[in-house]
Amino acid sequence: MIRGESGAFADLYQKYRARLHQYALSLIRSRLEAEDVVHDVFIGLAKQASGGRMPRELSAYLYVSVRNRCVDRMRRKPELPLDDVDLDVIVAPPGDEERIELRRLLNRALLALPAEQAEVVVLRTWHDLEFAAIAGMQRTSVNTALSRYQYGLAKLRKELGVHGR
């Protein structure tokens, strides 16, 4: 890669890394595995870029690549372990106990959802993807993605004791 291109690539990495890691973590539930997946995806993207090929829809390409690599890892290791160490507790500033507990409750509730529903909720809520993009990633219809989102939110509200619309 040329020096200017590597700077642009570093910018892309910084722009997408955290969101892709969070997405991978929602699928495979292991911080280390999620980091590996994101790194693998960017290595693949760098190889494509060095060959003069860049995807037209970069964001969609990255999310689909992360999803596919997570699915591949889950097939090879059907029961990926949850990480034992909660890094939020270690690095949290004093007084953030309530925020940490809320995050734990939400993560526990997300883990209780069927994987397809959890994925749609995470992609729509935290990654702001359109239902059409999510449906494409899950290889399903937009209506199915929408219903998975609605059922997932309803189950989260029930699990968390939140009354909503």
73, two tokens: 């890892």
DSSP assignments along 126-162, one per residue? TS---HHHHHHHHTS-HHHHHHHHHHHHHHHHHHHT-
What is the rounded distance in angstroms from the CA atom of residue 83 to the CA atom of residue 125?
A: 23
> Whole-model pTM?
0.62
- Residue 113 Rama label (left phi>0; alpha psi -120 to 50; beta): beta
For the chain, the 3-state helix, strand and coil shares in percent, each to the nearest 5, are 75, 0, 25
Question: Above 60 in pLDDT, residue 161?
Answer: yes
- Mean pLDDT of all residues in 20-40: 89
Q: How confident is the model at residue 146 (pLDDT cuts 50, 70, 90)?
A: very high
Confidence of residue 2 (pLDDT cuts 50, 70, 90): very low
**1-81 and 93-165: identical CATH topology:** no
Domain at 93-165: CATH code: 1.10.10.10
Q: Where are the domains of the chain?
A: 1-81, 93-165
How far, in Å, CA of 16 to CA of 19, rounded?
A: 6
pLDDT digits (tens, 9 = 90+) for 4-23: 567 888 899 999 999 999 88
The average confidence (pLDDT) of the chain is 81
Q: Write down the pLDDT at residue 164.
A: 61
Average pLDDT over residues 38-51: 90
**Burial bucket for residue 47 (CB in 10 Å: 0-12, 13-18, 19+):** exposed
- 81 burial (CB, 10 Å; 0-12 / 13-18 / 19+) is exposed
pLDDT confidence of residue 93: 52
With bands split at pLDDT 50, 70 and 90, how would you rate the model's confidence at 105? confident
CATH architecture of 1-81: Orthogonal Bundle (1.10)
